Structure 1
Amino acid sequence: MRFISETRLDDGVLEREFTLGEIPGTLWTPGSAPAPLVLMAHNNGLPKAEPRLVARARYTAARGYAVATIDASGCGDRPRSAADEQARADLRRAMQAGEPVDEIFESFIGPLVEKAVPEWQTTLDALLSLPEIGGPVGYSGGWTALGIRLAVVEPRIAAAGFFAGGYVPRAQREEARQVTIPLLFLLQWDDAGNPRQKALELFDAFGSKEKTLHANLGGHTGTPWFELEDGCRFLDRHLK
């Protein structure tokens, strides 16, 4: 892991960009150390510099957590194949037209999850070797399919917070039954991009004995700010 930039923010959080082989990432750490770690991924691999992700990461770090995110293959500044570009375009077109998107989503997101999981595990190995990070580890993000797979294959993850979850590949819908860690599941009731019934069915499928569903009125980007505060209290219960 090689740090390539460093910025001390007004709230005392240290923001550092890093590279790990071909993987670009960002790490936010609080003034106190060692800190529990939160892996934070945006929905379906949107860039790590996406403003909503950065705002959540900085807030969470200021609450005493080390927070890390990386760009998935084909996202951010990472090169995209022609097939990736076509799949993204097909998905956007179908959603805008109100057409069925399940098969397009399946063919695009399924392989993206398969590529992303080993990269997140490699990143986790490197992060936990840093003296300022002490574990345990949580997951928080809108990329629910990735979070499900990580929760199943990565025993170091002790709790997870998911956003939405209407569209999740079939493989991860099946794997949800194997997820047993504590969960906080956020649902925007009027999210046109995430079918409500599918999200409710996914929540029901999780095998966790402790799982909480928070549903709020509004569209995809309308999650109330207080849910971030509640999310940190959830992390406090399970990571501190």
Structure 2
Amino acid sequence: MHVTSERRHDDGVREREFTLGEIPGTLWTPGPAPAPLVLMAHNNGLPKADPRLAARARYTAARGYAVATIDADGCGDRPRTAADEQARADLRRAVQAGEPADELLESVVGPLVEKAAPEWRTTLDALLELPGIDGPVGYSGGWAALGIRLAVTEPRLAAAGFHAGGYVPRAQREEARQVTVPLLFLLQWDDEANPRQRALDLFGAFGSKEKTLHANPGGHTGTPWFELEDGCRFLDRHLK
């Protein structure tokens, strides 16, 4: 892991940009004391520099967690293939035209999950070797499909918080039955990008004995800020 830049914010949170091979990432840490690690991803591979993700990461770090995120293949500054560009262009056209987009989303999000999950596990290996980062490990973010795959395949993951705002491929909807870690699931009741019933069906499919659904009125980007505070209390219960 190679640190490419570093800054310390007024709230004491230390922010480091890093690369791990071809994988670019960001790590936020609260201070010198060992801190549990939270992996934080955002909506089907949106870049790690997305301001909503960065704000959530800094808030969570200030609450005593090490928080890390990476860019998925073809996202942020990572190069896209011609096939990637075409698939995304087709998806944008379908959404703008109000056409059914599930099959296009399958063709974009499914491969993203398959490529991203091993990279997140490689990143987790490297992060847990750093001083000041300790287990256990949690997951938090809008990329529920990736979180499901990690919760099923990564035994070091002790708790997960998902936002029901991104498309979850059929493979991960099936895998949801194998998720057993404590779970907090956030749903925007009027999310124009995510059918409500599909999100409720996904919540019902999770195999976790401890799972909580928080539903709030409003559209896709209207999640109340207090849910971030509640999310940190959820992490406190299971990671500290």
After TM superposition, the score normalised by the length of structure 1 is 0.98
| Letter in structure 2 aligned against 1:78 | R
Counterpart residue number, 1:236: 236
Name the counterpart of 1:24. 24
The 3-state SS of whatever aligns with 2:10 is: coil
Any gaps of 5 or more consecutive residues in structure 1? none
Three-state SS of the structure 2 residue aligned to 1:214 is strand
Preserved contact between residue 165 and residue 198 of structure 1 (Cα < 8 Å)? no
Q: Give distance in 2, aligned partners of 1:86 and 1:219.
A: 28
Is the CA contact 2:44–2:167 (under 8 Å) kept in the aligned structure 1? no
Give 1:32 deviation, angstroms.
Answer: 4.2
Counterpart position of 2:167: 167
Q: Which residue of 2 aligns with 1:84?
A: 84
Residues 20-64 of structure 1: per-residue CA shift (max 9 Å, x gap): 000000000001421000000010000000000000000000000
Question: Residue by residue, what CA displacement relative to the aligned partner does 1:141-168 show, whole Å, maximum 9, x if unpaired?
Answer: 1001000000000000000000015621
Letter in 2 for 1:143: W
Residue matched to 1:121:
121
SS of alignment partner, residue 106 of structure 1:
helix
| Structure 1 stretches of 4+ moved >2 Å | none
Give the letter aligned to residue 21 of structure 1. Answer: G
Report what 1:180 is aligned to: 180
CA distance in 1, matches of 2:147, 2:65: 18
1:1-240 maps to which residues of 2 (within 5 A)?
1-165=1-165, 167-240=167-240
Deviation at 1:95, TM superposition (A): 1.8
Contact 2:142 2:166 in 1 (8 A): no
User: Aligned partners of 1:3, 1:62: CA distance in 2, in Å?
Assistant: 21
- Give distance in 2, aligned partners of 1:15 and 1:163: 24
Q: Name the % identity.
A: 86
Give unmatched runs, 5+ long, in structure 2: none
TM-score, scaled relative to structure 2: 0.98
Task: Please identify, of 161-170 and 151-160, the stretch whose mean Cα deviation from structure 2 is larger.
Answer: 161-170
Tell me the secondary structure at the aligned position of residue 44 of structure 1.
Answer: helix
- Classify 1:165/1:172 alpha carbon distance in 2 versus 1 (closer, same or farther; 3 Å): farther
Alpha-carbon distance in 1 for matches of 2:35, 2:96: 42
Q: Distance in 2 between matches of 1:58 and 1:217?
A: 25
Letter matched to residue 67 of structure 2: V
Cα pair 2:43 2:143 within 8 Å, conserved: yes
Say if 2:144 and 2:166, in contact at 8 Å, map to a contact too. no
Q: Do 2:163 and 2:186's aligned partners in 1 also have CA atoms closer than 8 Å?
A: yes
Cα distance in 1, alignment partners of residues 175 and 35 from structure 2? 30
